[in-house]
Amino acid sequence: MGKLCMTLPPFSPDYSGVCSALFPFDTLTVLHDASGCTGNYTGYDEARWFRSRSPIYCSGLREIDAILGDDEKLIQKILYALEDIKPEMIAVVGSPVPMVIGTDMEGIAAEIENRTGIMAVGFPTTGIKYYPQGIAMVYKKVVQRILEEDNTQAVKEENTVNILGATPIDFGRSGTIEELTKFLEENGITVRKTLWENVKKSDVVQLKHAACNIVVSNAGIELAEYMEKEYGIPYVTGLPYGEKYADIWLAEVKKVLTGETSKVSSAAGANEEVLGSIKDSAESSAKILILGEQVQCNSIRNAIFAETGENCDVAGICGWDNRFAEAKDTFLESEAEIEQILNADKYECIIGDPLYKDLLHTDKKFCVHPHYAVSSKLGNEETRSLIGKKVF
Amino acid sequence: MSCKSCDAGHFRSSLEYTCPSHGGWGMVRIGMLIPESHQIFVCPSACGRHGALGAIKQGLKNRLSYLYLEESDVISGYDDAIYDAVEELLVRLQKRPKVIIVFVSCLDDLIGTDENAVMAELSNRYPDVKFRMGHMNPIQTDSDEPPLVSIWKNVYSLMERTVDTVKPAVNMLGNYVAIDEKSEFIKVLKELGIDVYHIENLNTYEELKDMGNHALNILLTSAVEKVAGQLEKEQNMAYLKAPVNYNLKEIKAGYQALFEKLAEIGQLGGSVSSERIEIPAKVEEILIDSEKRALSAIQKAKMLIGDRDIHIDYSAFVHPFSAAKFFYENGFSIKKIYAKEMDENDADYQWVKNETDIEIIPIKKHDIVHMWKEHEDSISIGLEAAYVSGSRHVVSVFQDEKMYGYHGICLLMEHLINCIKEDVDLEDVINKAGLVV
């Protein structure tokens, strides 16, 4: 997000993405900050925090430590905590101050691993970037590393999938991931692992035995591509939103499970044979704008198209991949850009987080689809799963 | 499960756990007490998220803006970006604010923005607007000017003495919410012809400015001592430290100190002699009656609560060890104090530690994740205590809010009695509290 921002709250930052993705792991996670950054994550970016016992901590960084570059103090606090907490892994996560003073988060992690013998990972997050980068960082530095260090052969199990890219920062308390799992299981597909619930290192190596990866957010793409390259596991992006599109999406998954190549189910042209030519309809001006996480927005678009034949434009925040975008889709980088597109005359209906309503200059039809990275728990009451259900 | 650090009897520096119940008003909400003000945070976007969402909850977001910094801004400095943002802000705001606080975050302490120069330039460009530089910098928590001290300084330094003869009024400083209007403190001062002011009740910046013309600042917390000292030095504003206390003797002594101070500054009419301060009979009557009410409230609460365990925390009470002493000495079954920090020089802390079996638990220590929901039948005063203890009966108060003097005891007892009437949905209570870390 660029420059002056007068209406919207700042969106979930990269370090929250790291902590959220690490939450299910048996990890002692330390956010290297004074307190506010940890408060962002625990207070507003982690829908699972209440009654959880995940050992995610603040380092209690103080000015004198920053000035002296006293990394040993942090290391000693972690060693002290290890007297009571017995994790499989340790993570040290950066914030704005470590960025400014150039703290070597990866170096600190290496030192901790060397002293304790416990796998330790450093994340050079800054609080300037957004949560998808943080989630992707965990997949790259933790999941890929565990997979690479495992020497066992990948043995594909038929009709099994992993769910990648699921964190509450995208799905909040909507129940979407739980319902996705149920939907797949009801249709004869076993979900091997979801990087969402409690997982051990030994569970992570099981990821490579799945026949297909389901990628439910932008943040999961990189890991899916890695697993396709290393283990030959194809992937399908998107979610079975809507009544009609759920069946179409399921058919795509089944095709991939029986040997077809990966399906980026929301990319331009990818669904032409089942959905008709979205690309052609895109030439005529869409009247609906969907604003939010790109993979979810694409799935909502497909669901609406399947139900009504009406096309929508998608605008993304925080993370974006042009490969999954239609011609008129766009990535928004400031509140001014969001305000401009929301108020564009051509859009008669907006689908997005309720806080975007405050940027509308005139009355428009507004369908609420809360995005936890924007409104956090303020959107809890309006959030719902769209799996297999009429979207709007 | 017991907590090692408590057995060790000290608060060793450790990784800090953040319970869902953790937090307070935050810099934004405190700064928003300034009427007709606007805040602009100049920081990486992440630093503003909790404050912004808290402000939306409190209905304050329309007075809060952000200028997000990129890495390049951090490298090259952002003074000019602040000037541009303030200019744009003043153009776009529908109502011109009387005060603007430009907040910076922790990283600014390390890159050294020349705040005096920035404030001078902004004041020069916009002479009709008062500017203050705010610091949301918990990295300074251990310094002599932590964020809470800094924000109160910004708020109260806007008071301005413009008259030679002060008004017969006192300002209550350092408490977030005004004390209860039924308090005997207000009645006593009214009887003495003195009005009581709190910033929460103001509507305009002019009213805040005018508080500088009042006779006395009464400090309820140590966080306002710095600004009070500055106001005394620069503007000759008298002050009196008078923190919340639940000990009856201390309350009585507090009133005596107040009367002495009022006499010293010439606000006690003609009834002052060098030997003794004579208080009007009506005032004596109010105080005696209020003390009786407090004693009666304690007896009633004890009867209804019985031996039920009580856990308290630092979020409910500014001085939790003093509050614990009150409960202990009055026969309540006070069992645990959840504290964020302790001061070895605090006599109440030493008393609790050495003279009682009350358990002192460092709420932020890493092993707190192992110890919760073990005391569902207890009463918790404060949300941190409630979360860790798992109490079904909870008093949700923050920093002694509304409680002061004898009437404060009555309110506290009323809270206790009410909380045992129903089980609480703690998550809902925490969400509604709108806490900000």
Do B300 and B375 lie in a common domain?
A: yes
Chain centroid to Cα B303, Å, comes to 31
Q: Is residue A189 part of a domain?
A: yes
Do B57 and B135 lie in a common domain?
A: yes
Instruction: Say whether B435 and A66 touch across the interface (CB within 8 A).
Output: no
Helix (H, G, I), strand (E, B) or coil at A99: helix
Do A22 and A112 lie in a common domain?
A: yes
Give the residue from chain B lying closest to A6, CA to CA: B65
Do A364 and A333 lie in a common domain?
A: yes
Helix (H, G, I), strand (E, B) or coil at A198: coil
Question: Are the C-beta atoms of residues A321 and A136 closer than 8 Å to each other?
Answer: no
The Cα of B388 is separated from the nearest Cα of chain A by a number of Å equal to 9
State the best of B7, B57, B144, B437 to mutate against chain A, taking most chain A CBs within 10 Å.
Answer: B437
Chain centroid to Cα B237, Å, comes to 21
Do B273 and B321 lie in a common domain?
A: no
Q: Is residue A7 part of a domain?
A: no
Please give the share of chain B, as a percent, with pLDDT higher than 90. Answer: 88
Q: Is residue A135 part of a domain?
A: no
Do A285 and A366 lie in a common domain?
A: yes
Do B137 and B56 lie in a common domain?
A: yes
Q: Taking a contact as any Cβ pair under 8 Å apart, which residues of chain B between 27 and 46 contact chain A?
A: 43-46
Sequence length of chain A is: 392
CA distances from B8 to B5, B159, B355 (A): 5, 46, 16
pLDDT averaged over 10-residue windows placed end to end, chain A, 392 residues: 85 98 95 96 95 93 93 97 96 97 97 98 97 96 95 92 95 95 97 84 92 95 95 94 94 89 56 50 76 96 92 95 92 96 97 98 96 96 93 88
Instruction: Say whether B141 and A62 touch across the interface (CB within 8 A).
Output: yes
- What is the domain range of residue A238? 160-257
CB burial of residue A86 (10 Å; 0-12, 13-18, 19+):
exposed
Identity of the amino acid at A356: Y
Q: Is residue A3 part of a domain?
A: no
Q: Is residue A38 part of a domain?
A: yes
Q: What is the CATH number of the domain that holds A187?
A: 3.40.50.1980
- Looking at B217, B246, B279, the residue that finishes a domain is B279
pLDDT at residue number B195:
97
Give the burial string for A245-256 (b: 16+ CB within 10 Å, else e): bbebbbebbbeb
CA distances from B418 to B240, B385, B393 (A): 34, 18, 9
Q: How far apart are CA B17 and CA A347, in angstroms?
A: 46
Do A251 and A289 lie in a common domain?
A: no
Do B315 and B217 lie in a common domain?
A: no
Region for B69 from its dihedrals, namely left if φ exceeds 0, alpha if ψ lies in -120 to 50, beta otherwise:
beta
Q: How far apart are CA A45 and CA A63, in angstroms?
A: 26
Q: How far apart are CA B60 and CA B64, in angstroms?
A: 7
The Cα of A302 is separated from the nearest Cα of chain B by a number of Å equal to 32
Instruction: Say whether B67 and A377 touch across the interface (CB within 8 A).
Output: no
Do A249 and A286 lie in a common domain?
A: no
User: Please, which pLDDT band fits residue B432 given cuts at 50, 70 and 90?
Assistant: confident
Do A98 and A165 lie in a common domain?
A: no
Tally of domains within chain B:
3
Pairing of strands B16-17, A56-58: antiparallel
Average per-residue pLDDT for chain B: 93
Q: Is residue B381 part of a domain?
A: yes
Do B80 and B143 lie in a common domain?
A: yes
State ipTM.
Answer: 0.94
Q: How far apart are CA A269 and CA A50, in angstroms?
A: 43
pLDDT at residue number A284:
57
Q: Is residue B328 part of a domain?
A: yes
Instruction: Say whether B46 and A128 touch across the interface (CB within 8 A).
Output: yes
Do B210 and B306 lie in a common domain?
A: no
Rg over alpha carbons for chain A, rounded to the nearest Å, is: 21
Do A253 and A170 lie in a common domain?
A: yes
Q: What pLDDT, in 10s, does the model give residues B12-29?
A: 889 999 999 999 999 999
Pairwise pLDDT comparison (B274 vs A204), residue with the higher score: A204
Instruction: Say whether B71 and A30 touch across the interface (CB within 8 A).
Output: no
Q: Is A381 part of the contact surface with chain B (CB cutoff 8 Å)?
A: no
Instruction: Say whether A34 and B436 touch across the interface (CB within 8 A).
Output: no
Do B186 and B246 lie in a common domain?
A: yes
pLDDT at residue number A264:
67
- What is the domain range of residue B225? 167-279
User: Please, which pLDDT band fits residue B376 given cuts at 50, 70 and 90?
Assistant: confident
pLDDT at residue number B271:
53
Q: Is residue B41 part of a domain?
A: yes
Do B310 and B348 lie in a common domain?
A: yes
From chain B, pick out residues whose CB is under 8 angstroms from the CB of A95. 46
- Residue B2 predicted with pLDDT over 50: no
Give the residue from chain B lying closest to A15, CA to CA: B46
How many of the other CB atoms lie within 10 Å of CB of B126? 16
Do B123 and B251 lie in a common domain?
A: no
Q: Which of A5, A35, A45 sits opposite B66 (nearest CB)?
A: A5
Sequence length of chain B is: 437
State the best of A8, A37, A64, A79 to mutate against chain B, taking most chain B CBs within 10 Å.
Answer: A37
Which of A69, A66, A210 lies closest to A143, judged by CA?
Answer: A210
Q: Is A128 part of the contact surface with chain B (CB cutoff 8 Å)?
A: yes
Do B86 and B108 lie in a common domain?
A: yes
pLDDT at residue number A195:
82
Cβ neighbours of residue B413 closer than 8 Å, sequence gap 6 or more: B297, B298, B300, B301
Do A101 and A49 lie in a common domain?
A: yes
Which of A110, A93, A199 lies closest to A146, judged by CA?
Answer: A199
Q: Is residue A8 part of a domain?
A: no
Q: How far apart are CA A331 and CA B46, in angstroms?
A: 20
CA distances from A174 to A170, A178, A301, A387, B159 (A): 10, 9, 19, 10, 48
Do A213 and A171 lie in a common domain?
A: yes
The Cα of B150 is separated from the nearest Cα of chain A by a number of Å equal to 16
CA-CA-CA-CA dihedral for B314, B318, B319, B321, to nearest 10: -20
- Residue B342 predicted with pLDDT over 70: yes
Location of structure tokens 């370090």:
A15
Q: Taking a contact as any Cβ pair under 8 Å apart, which residues of chain B between 360 and 389 contact chain A?
A: 366-367, 369-370
Q: How far apart are CA B393 and CA A362, in angstroms?
A: 47
| φ/ψ (deg, to 5) at A318 | 70, -45
- Looking at B279, B312, B345, the residue that finishes a domain is B279
Do B74 and B176 lie in a common domain?
A: no
Q: Is A80 part of the contact surface with chain B (CB cutoff 8 Å)?
A: yes
pLDDT at residue number B1:
37
Q: Is residue B20 part of a domain?
A: no
Pairwise pLDDT comparison (B179 vs A198), residue with the higher score: B179
Helix (H, G, I), strand (E, B) or coil at A388: coil
Q: How far apart are CA A219 and CA A223, in angstroms?
A: 8
Identity of the amino acid at A335: E
Arithmetic mean of pLDDT, B277-286: 92
Instruction: Say whether B138 and A1 touch across the interface (CB within 8 A).
Output: no
From chain B, pick out residues whose CB is under 8 angstroms from the CB of A99. 71, 74, 107
- Looking at B222, B247, B279, the residue that finishes a domain is B279
- Residue B272 predicted with pLDDT over 80: no
Q: Is residue B425 part of a domain?
A: yes
Question: Are the C-beta atoms of residues B386 and B309 closer than 8 Å to each other?
Answer: no
Do A288 and A218 lie in a common domain?
A: no
Please give the share of chain B, as a percent, with pLDDT higher than 70. Answer: 96
From chain A, pick out residues whose CB is under 8 angstroms from the CB of B65. 4-6
Tally of domains within chain A:
3
Q: What pLDDT, in 10s, does the model give residues B32-49?
A: 999 999 999 999 999 999
Region for B266 from its dihedrals, namely left if φ exceeds 0, alpha if ψ lies in -120 to 50, beta otherwise:
left
Q: What pLDDT, in 10s, does the model give residues B234-245?
A: 999 999 999 999
Pairing of strands B379-381, A27-31: unpaired
Do A123 and A22 lie in a common domain?
A: yes
